[in-house]
Amino acid sequence: MEKSMAINLLLFLCLISSFFLCNGVVIVPRSAAAAHRTVLEQRGGGPYETRYFTQTLDHFNYKPDGYMQFRQKYLVNDSFWEGRGSPIFVYAGSEASIEFIADNAGFVFDVAPSFKALLLFIEHRYYGESLPFGDVGNSSTLGYLSTAQALADYAALITDLKKNLSSEHSPVVAFGGSYGGMLAAWFRLKYPHVVIGSVASSAPILQFDDLVSPYTFIDIVTNDFKSESESCFKTIKNSWKEMDDALRQPGGPQKLGKAFKLCPGAKPKYVPSWISRAFIYGAMTDYPTASDFLTPLPAFPVKQSCTEMILIVRGSRNESMFPAESYDYQKQLAYCKEAYKISPRLHWITTEFGGHHIKRVLKRFGSNIIFFNGLRDPWSGGGVLKSINPSLIAIVAPQGAHHVDLRFATEQDPVWLQNVRRKEIQIISKWLKQYYEDSRI
């Protein structure tokens, strides 16, 4: 048993040789973002200027505390902008600091010169420095953390910025990936007078209760690994028991910690969950070129997941490479009540933004959204994989990973990825051309 465990642990280490485990965060050596910053500076283009906007805490009621304000951080790059009337490309911040988001949003930096666009990156409330109450918050303040409030933040900031620039007629195109992609899509649907179109990359807007199976996410992760190596798949599947057995043996936790080179103070009992997280991230970020995306992010940030973003992802079948686990919403509910003293609203997102019968519903009124999904990305199971009408366009890449289309272009990019970006550019160009033609009427 000891020899078998050692062999399997060595295979594990080979599989995740680029990862280190520290305090529950999967850390990958970083270099790409810094390199791209240098390229931008050599072009004379940035990367960006940091600014702050005085934002309203509550956009939807008239109670006195709703008029409270906080500083919302945003980044601007106007190196290529031609001024009044020229396009504004807005990147929707999500569950990270806005600098981290911008450093991994290379596509908009790459295309800004040809579109002569101003780049605007808006930090999501309750993340980075945009903290209404100076910290994460508690049960009495988390009520202001919602997608509706975040979208209203974006609308208010964009409208104010355009006035300050004396460029009220500049067309705005929104971009976002993952949760940010969901926001970009919903932004176009809720605020069509603010944004003329959106690129929603790897946006799982259907990853909610009654819309997708809770086992789809892990199924895709499993298939990613199984398609590369049946032996690898079997090794991973069999090793969970090996690790559990090791944790129960005298001296086993110490051996496990040493095998995985844990940082000082890290607890070996968490190794299985950290390893599963590493494999999930590996599937999400199965990019064709080197990447440093997701490195400082914890898995499934609870501040979304304990209010309304109840993404259905935690089920694992017997055939999965992970230990079998039935999806149980009650576990998440119990955690949220204990940690934050709040109960999630399971069905609110689909009530607020829709999702059921999406093709029939959006076919008649939705327009100008690109839904990109890479089928190697586990979030693609909750994405829009078929075009809904001529301007609600699904672009699907069988080899694609998590919003790979929005990353910086490199000389090593495969032809299929170049073609995806080329198609997105053509569609955005069409939106802008139509906007300027309509503006002359």
**Is 347 assigned a catalytic role?**
no
Contact 383, 184 (CB under 8 A): no
Helix or strand (DSSP H, E) at 214:
none
What percent of the chain is helix, strand and coil (3-state, nearest 5)?
Answer: 45, 15, 40
**Pairwise CA distance, residues 91 & 89, whole Å:** 7
**Is 377 assigned a catalytic role?**
yes
- Residue 420 makes CB contacts below 8 A (sequence gap 6+) with 372, 395, 397, 400, 405
Q: At 68, which amino acid appears?
A: M
Token output for 347: 């069905």
- Give the three-state DSSP class for 333: helix
Among 286, 292, 377, 405, which one carries the catalytic annotation?
A: 377
Among 78, 201, 286, 402, which one carries the catalytic annotation?
A: 402
**Is 78 assigned a catalytic role?**
no
Among 79, 94, 130, 178, which one carries the catalytic annotation?
A: 178
Contact 204, 311 (CB under 8 A): yes
DSSP E strand stretches across 234-342: none
Q: Nearest CA to 394 among 351, 364, 423, 433?
A: 423
Alpha-helix residue ranges (DSSP H) falling in 1-97: 2-15, 32-42
* Dihedral, 222, 226, 228, 233 alpha carbons, nearest 10: 100
Q: Taking the alpha carbons of 214, 215, 220, 221 in that order, is the dihedral positive or negative?
A: positive
Q: At 417, which amino acid appears?
A: L
Beta bridge partner(s), residue 199: 175, 370
- Active-site residue numbers? 178, 377, 402
